[in-house]
């Protein structure tokens, strides 16, 4: 099995309890740091096609700034309305000072 992880950003670029937008393999991704862990989620709310990277982060969740839908960063599942559908989440690993993301093998079956 080939390694499908690609560099997304430097770990230092992602603030604590924060998020930055990046493109990995042609996919718009929000790279998030929450509770000391890094996460990667498709940078699009499943409710209104708004960039999640413009929202707030806290307690392993990201909130869409427009309507307030929140998503669990570990599962992609919505934790508040109005979103009903999960967002795709991707495997993340650190390689030295870099955050690597695998957009070819999502961790859930969500699709936008």
Report pLDDT for 3: 87
For residues 39 and 89, give the distance between their C-alpha atoms in angstroms, rounded to a whole number. 8
Superfamily of domain 6-101: Rieske [2Fe-2S] iron-sulphur domain (2.102.10.10)
Report pLDDT for 1: 43
Report pLDDT for 110: 78
CA 80 to each of CA 17, 51, 61, 64, 85: distance values in angstroms, whole numbers, following the listed order: 19, 17, 10, 10, 11
Report pLDDT for 2: 55
| Per-residue pLDDT tens digits for 90-111 | 999 999 999 999 999 999 987 6
Give this prediction's pTM.
0.94
Report pLDDT for 73: 98
User: Domain spans of the chain?
Assistant: 6-101
Order of strands across the sheet that contains 98-101: 6-10, 98-101, 92-95
For residues 105 and 17, give the distance between their C-alpha atoms in angstroms, rounded to a whole number. 25
């Amino acid at each position: 099995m080939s390694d499908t992880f690609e560099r997304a950003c430097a770990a230092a670029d992602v603030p604590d309890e924060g998020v930055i937008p990046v493109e990995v393999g042609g996919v718009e991704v929000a790279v998030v740091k929450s509770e000391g862990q890094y996460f990667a989620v498709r940078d699009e709310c499943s409710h209104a096609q708004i960039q999640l990277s413009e929202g707030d982060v806290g307690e392993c969740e990201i909130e869409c700034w427009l309507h307030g839908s929140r998503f669990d960063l570990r599962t992609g599942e919505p934790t508040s309305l109005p979103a009903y559908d999960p967002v795709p989440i991707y495997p993340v690993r650190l390689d030295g000072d870099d955050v690597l993301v695998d957009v070819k093998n999502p961790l859930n079956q969500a699709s936008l």
